[in-house]
């Protein structure tokens, strides 16, 4: 019979091999799922993973990759900092919405003024909105020891109602003939997050994501705060002896992840989404959790994982228009990826041994 | 006897019904957490139960089979969680989240084609003669069988956890898995069974949403009920009786805000519909703050995986 045995030290090989193996297993299991739905699994997998990069419409779809990957990377890097320290911010979706609402509100408040400073101020407002939304669970945790998982999650539902109120009430387009939704930022140049280089899909959000990836990597590997984050996650008792204040770490990690999620929301709503609408948010805040784990909670890994997950979004849309694959199938596919990742991850710290005879 | 268009008797009767989904799910999660496992996938198991129950009830025409189908679906999903956390020793928080994301995806995939269908009606259990009595009739006798089942489960679980050998084993595993292992109990096997039970209860709670509360299939039908159930377990300090109180309090708030929306109280609808979530946060704060300094009521081994090295 097989039994698990703890490795003396974590395997470096499996640390890096886990994500590719998990992706491969997901492709196989996903293929079975697609076949069960009456689709040709090879065609679907090719449409999702190959066509966006090298297929017929790749010249357009390659740009879409960065558009989708940007917000996922921004949010996931923030989450990963917290996850590393054992702080579970699950409400990134809410922080993303609040960042978008705050950023958009600042821009729309001064419509139609044209000034160079408007967009930078909107960026600050977006980060602030996400930060405030993340500070609620952070301060409740440090002051009253409430569970940050539940509070941050409840705040997602609150943010969703605020978003509904914004798009039908206080941010509604006064010239929108009564339709819900704010003014479209594409007709307001000073506040628009326009493409910097369209063929690559590069806008300020993409720039922010890549820069944040590098900065977070430096923070984790070279900075005192990064060391404290890693220490608090791996050995909480040792961290306390080292003088790490758990409360300060909670505020720091939640604050960074909230601000980054808020930024992602602000860049999305002023760029690709174009306007505040009831359902402009597409669950990036939740998918980013998968991205964070897929990237092994390592900023550079997350950048790669963000592109891979973007591939499933872009390819999934292709599969749904060309092959009639329901979009929910992609959600299932993404969920499976996280399952396989967590399952294969056992090999990093344990190995399977054949148990022979008595032990 | 109306207060601003709200009849208190009907309010109490409706809150008992509206609390059933979170009561069942929270009772199941209480057992899971008492065995030392933190399953954050309640929302996913509930929505799978909601779909499984709905599909079974529509195809068989029997609401009772529907509830059983919901429980089976919830338990089946929870077994993925059990496999990952008990066999592959995966992080419980991450796995629970994955379970919710996966469950939401599967339910919206499997639910296509079921929109707009009415499920078979789950009727009132007791005869009209009793249910028509003034005041006590609607509150005590006017419910379907699941409402009584949920209350009965509260009593049963209270008794099992408090006074039986099984309950003692579950609690031992949850307080100190090392000690339980040393006494010869199969820690991971016991936890696996608790997880499956929790899944079945969450699935049945979900089925009550799609079969009795709404009653139809809508994408994302449970809308956070699973997370509220998790909060209620904390509120209840892991005790079945307090879970009942918590669920009824919460059900009361939900019904009241819906009534206020209908009655047109002048408070904007959006603010009323965020009230249940804000009150959940408030309750968590009050419960956690009250316990500061004292040792937590949470099972000592909550969220820790167990690997028998010997």
Buried/exposed code over A19-37 (b: 16+ C-beta within 10 A; e: otherwise): bebbbebbbebbbebbeee
CA geometry: angle at B215 spanning B212 and B221, to 5°?
105
Residue B293 has pLDDT above 60, yes or no: no
pLDDT digits (tens, 9 = 90+) for B113-141: 898 888 888 877 877 777 777 777 778 88
Radius of gyration of the CA atoms of chain B, in A: 20
Task: Confirm whether A281 is domain-assigned.
Answer: yes
Structure tokens given for B294: 């004292």
Confidence of residue A357 (pLDDT cuts 50, 70, 90): low
Domains of chain B: 8-290 (1.10.3470)
Structural domain count, chain A: 1
Q: What is the pLDDT of residue A56?
A: 80
Distance from CA of A297 to the nearest CA of B (A): 12
Q: Are A145 and B288 a contacting pair at CB < 8 A?
A: yes
Structure tokens given for B185: 């109990």
Separation CA A215–CA A220 (nearest Å): 9
Structure tokens given for A100: 């978008």
pTM: predicted TM-score of the whole model, two decimal places: 0.89
Residue A2 has pLDDT above 90, yes or no: no
pLDDT digits (tens, 9 = 90+) for B136-156: 777 888 888 999 999 999 999
Instruction: Answer yes or no: are the C-beta atoms of B128 and B121 closer than 8 Å.
Output: no
Task: Confirm whether A218 is domain-assigned.
Answer: yes
Q: Are B89 and A145 a contacting pair at CB < 8 A?
A: no
Q: Are B277 and A336 a contacting pair at CB < 8 A?
A: no
Confidence of residue B195 (pLDDT cuts 50, 70, 90): very high
Peptide bond into A199 cis (omega under 30): no
Residue A5 DSSP SS3: strand
Q: What is the pLDDT of residue B267?
A: 76
Q: What is the pLDDT of residue A358?
A: 46
Separation CA B221–CA A154 (nearest Å): 16
Instruction: Answer yes or no: are the C-beta atoms of B210 and B51 closer than 8 Å.
Output: yes
Q: What is the pLDDT of residue A350?
A: 87
Instruction: Answer yes or no: are the C-beta atoms of B125 and B148 closer than 8 Å.
Output: yes
- CB-nearest to A158 from B98, B105, B277 is B277
Q: Which of B29, B84, B98 to mutate to test the interface with A (most CBs of A within 10 A)?
A: B98
Which of these, A293, A341, A278, lies nearest to A75 by C-alpha position? A293
Q: What is the pLDDT of residue A5?
A: 84
Separation CA B196–CA B81 (nearest Å): 9
- What residues are paired with A6 via a beta bridge? A350
For residue A240, what is the domain's CATH number?
A: 1.10.3470
Distance from CA of A342 to the nearest CA of B (A): 6
Residue A359 has pLDDT above 60, yes or no: no
Task: Confirm whether A167 is domain-assigned.
Answer: yes
pLDDT digits (tens, 9 = 90+) for A304-323: 999 999 999 999 888 888 88
Task: Confirm whether A62 is domain-assigned.
Answer: no
CB contacts < 8 A (A, B): 135
- CB-nearest to A4 from B98, B271, B307 is B307
Q: Specify the length of chain A in residues.
A: 359
State which residues form the domain around A111. 69-325
Residue B271 has pLDDT above 60, yes or no: yes
Residue A4 DSSP SS3: strand
Q: What is the pLDDT of residue B283?
A: 84
The residue whose two tokens read 């031992």 is B172
**Average pLDDT rounded to a whole number, residues B30-56:** 95
The per-residue DSSP string of B181-223 comes to HHTT--HHHHHHHHHHHHHHHHHHHHHHIIIIIS-S--TTTTT
Task: Confirm whether A354 is domain-assigned.
Answer: no
Q: How far is CA B55 from CA A64, A287, B75, B210, B231, in A?
A: 37, 28, 16, 10, 29
Q: What is the pLDDT of residue B295?
A: 55
Task: Confirm whether A55 is domain-assigned.
Answer: no
**Average pLDDT rounded to a whole number, residues B189-207:** 96
Question: CA neighbours within 13 Å on the CB side: how many for A35?
Answer: 8
pLDDT digits (tens, 9 = 90+) for A91-111: 999 999 999 999 999 999 888
Task: Confirm whether A30 is domain-assigned.
Answer: no
Alpha helices in chain A (DSSP H): 12-36, 41-49, 51-54, 58-84, 92-109, 118-144, 148-165, 204-222, 224-234, 236-241, 246-270, 284-294, 299-322, 327-344, 346-349
Separation CA B276–CA B289 (nearest Å): 20
Separation CA A353–CA B188 (nearest Å): 19
Longest dimension (CA), chain A: 80
Task: Confirm whether A247 is domain-assigned.
Answer: yes
Q: What is the pLDDT of residue B1?
A: 45
Confidence of residue A244 (pLDDT cuts 50, 70, 90): confident
Does any CB of chain A come closer than 8 Å to the CB of residue B94?
Answer: yes
Region of residue B293 (left: phi > 0; alpha: psi -120 to 50; beta: else):
left
Distance from CA of B43 to the nearest CA of A (A): 12
Q: Identify the helix (H) or strand (E) that includes residue B245.
A: helix B240-263
Q: Which residues of B touch A339 (CB under 8 A)?
A: 80, 84, 95, 98, 102
Residue B264 has pLDDT above 80, yes or no: no
Alpha helices in B142-186 (DSSP H): 145-163, 165-175, 177-182
**Packing angle between helix A148-165 and helix B269-290, nearest 10 degrees?**
160
Distance of CA A246 to the CA centre of its chain: 25
Q: Are A339 and B102 a contacting pair at CB < 8 A?
A: yes
Confidence of residue B47 (pLDDT cuts 50, 70, 90): very high
């Amino acid at each position: 019979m097989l039994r698990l045995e703890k490795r003396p030290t974590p395997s470096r090989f499996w640390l890096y091999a886990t994500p590719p193996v998990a992706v491969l297993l997901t492709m196989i299991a996903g293929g079975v799922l697609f076949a069960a739905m009456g689709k040709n699994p090879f065609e679907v997998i090719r449409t999702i993973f190959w066509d966006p990069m090298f297929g017929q419409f790749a010249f357009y779809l390659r740009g879409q990759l960065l558009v989708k990957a940007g917000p996922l990377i921004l949010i996931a890097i923030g989450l990963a900092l917290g996850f590393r320290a054992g702080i579970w911010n699950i409400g990134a979706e809410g922080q993303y919405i609040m960042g978008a609402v705050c950023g958009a509100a600042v821009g729309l408040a001064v419509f139609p003024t044209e000034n160079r400073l408007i967009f930078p101020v909107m960026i600050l407002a977006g980060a602030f909105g996400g930060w405030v939304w993340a500070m609620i669970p952070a301060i409740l945790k440090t002051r009253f020891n409430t569970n940050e998982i539940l509070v941050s999650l409840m705040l997602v539902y609150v943010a969703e109602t605020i978003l509904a109120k914004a798009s039908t009430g206080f941010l509604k387009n006064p010239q929108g003939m009564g339709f819900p939704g704010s003014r479209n930022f594409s007709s307001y140049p000073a506040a628009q997050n326009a493409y910097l280089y369209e063929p690559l899909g590069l806008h300020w959000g993409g720039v922010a994501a890549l820069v944040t990836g590098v900065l977070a990597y430096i923070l984790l590997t070279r900075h005192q705060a990064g060391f404290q984050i890693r220490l608090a996650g791996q050995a909480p008792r040792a961290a306390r002896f080292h003088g790490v204040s758990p409360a300060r770490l909670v505020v720091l990690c939640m604050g960074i992840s909230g601000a980054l999620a808020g930024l992602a929301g602000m860049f999305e709503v002023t760029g690709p989404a174009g306007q505040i609408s009831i359902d402009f948010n597409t669950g990036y805040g939740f998918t980013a959790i998968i991205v964070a784990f897929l990237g092994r909670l390592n900023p550079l890994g997350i950048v790669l994982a963000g592109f891979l997950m973007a591939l499933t979004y872009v390819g999934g849309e292709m599969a749904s228009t060309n092959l009639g694959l329901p979009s929910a199938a992609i959600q299932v596919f993404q969920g499976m990826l996280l399952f396989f990742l967590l399952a294969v991850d056992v090999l990093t710290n344990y190995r399977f041994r054949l148990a022979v005879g008595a032990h | 006897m109306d207060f601003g268009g709200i009849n208190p008797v009907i309010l109490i009767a409706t809150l008992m019904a509206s609390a059933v989904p979170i009561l069942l799910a929270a009772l199941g999660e209480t057992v899971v957490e008492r065995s030392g496992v933190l399953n954050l996938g309640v929302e996913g198991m509930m929505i799978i139960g909601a779909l499984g129950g709905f599909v079974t009830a529509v195809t068989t025409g029997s609401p009772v089979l529907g509830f059983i189908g919901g429980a089976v679906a919830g338990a089946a999903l929870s077994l993925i969680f059990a496999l990952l956390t008990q066999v592959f020793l995966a992080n419980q928080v991450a796995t629970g989240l994955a379970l919710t994301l996966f469950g939401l995806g599967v339910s919206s995939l499997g639910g296509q084609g079921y929109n707009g269908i009415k499920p078979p009606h789950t009727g009132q259990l007791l005869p009209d003669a009793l249910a028509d009595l003034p005041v006590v009739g609607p509150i005590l006798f006017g419910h379907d069988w699941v409402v009584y089942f949920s209350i009965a489960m509260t009593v049963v679980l209270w008794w099992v956890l408090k006074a039986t050998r099984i309950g003692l084993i579950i609690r031992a595993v949850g307080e100190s898995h090392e000690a339980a292992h040393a006494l010869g109990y199969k820690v991971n096997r016991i936890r696996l069974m608790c997880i499956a039970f929790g899944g079945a209860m969450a699935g049945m709670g979900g089925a009550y949403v799609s079969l009795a509360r709404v009653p139809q299939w809508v994408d994302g039908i449970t809308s956070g009920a699973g997370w509220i159930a998790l909060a209620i377990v904390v509120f209840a300090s892991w005790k079945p009786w307090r879970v009942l109180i918590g669920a009824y309090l919460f059900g009361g708030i939900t019904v009241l805000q819906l009534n206020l929306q209908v009655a047109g109280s002048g408070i904007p609808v959006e603010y009323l519909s965020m009230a249940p979530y804000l009150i959940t946060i408030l309750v968590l704060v009050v419960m956690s703050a009250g316990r500061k300094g004292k040792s937590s009521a949470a099972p000592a081994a909550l969220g820790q995986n167990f690997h028998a090295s010997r």
